[in-house]
């Protein structure tokens, strides 16, 4: 790498780090906090459903889910998040979405350098599609 290039990249870095300063203090110079893997208490939930407890434990999440299409059609928490205890997944896997939405998932993952997950455009729990430009194109049928 030439010296000139290195300088350019360094200045780019410096610029980017300062860029958000005007909008909100959250942006300037702060590095993103490390997020935890996500562990769920090993509750004995067999006499209940996730949503019953989470209505109290995480009310906004529960409400966002319940008021969205997945809540109405009872695509319950564990479909995306697995079960409790060691079986819990904080971040859903694309396979969960592909089970019902295979061509939408294919349309963004197979494209070269495509979007690697759904939640960039689909807000967690509400999952309502963002209206603007859809990357999904014409969804096709056919074998997986």
By CB under 8 A, residue 3 contacts other proteins: no
- From 56, 114, 136, 138, residue interacting with other proteins (rule: CB under 8 A): 114
By CB under 8 A, residue 138 contacts other proteins: no
Q: How far is the CB of 114 from other proteins (least distance, A)?
A: 7
By CB under 8 A, residue 58 contacts other proteins: no
User: Per residue in 109-121, is it b (16+ CB within 10 Å) or e — as a string?
Assistant: eeeeeeeeebeee
CA torsion angle for 70, 75, 76, 78 (degrees, to 10)? Answer: -120
- From 55, 120, 136, 137, residue interacting with other proteins (rule: CB under 8 A): 120
- From 3, 56, 138, 144, residue interacting with other proteins (rule: CB under 8 A): 144
Measure the CA–CA gap between 70 and 51, rounded to whole angstroms: 12
């Amino acid at each position: 790498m030439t010296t000139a290039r290195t300088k350019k990249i360094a200045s780019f870095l410096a610029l980017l780090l300062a860029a958000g300063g005007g909008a909100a203090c959250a942006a300037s110079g702060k590095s993103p906090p490390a997020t935890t893997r996500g562990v769920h208490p090993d509750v004995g939930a067999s006499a209940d459903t996730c949503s019953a407890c989470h209505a109290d434990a995480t009310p906004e999440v529960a409400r966002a889910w319940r008021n969205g299409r997945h809540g109405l059609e009872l695509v319950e928490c564990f479909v995306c998040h697995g079960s409790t205890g060691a079986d819990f997944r904080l971040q859903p896997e694309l396979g969960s979405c592909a089970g019902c939405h295979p061509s939408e998932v294919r349309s963004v993952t197979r494209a070269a350098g495509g979007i690697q997950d759904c939640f960039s455009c689909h807000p967690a729990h509400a999952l309502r599609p963002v209206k603007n430009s859809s990357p999904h194109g014409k969804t096709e049928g056919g074998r997986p």
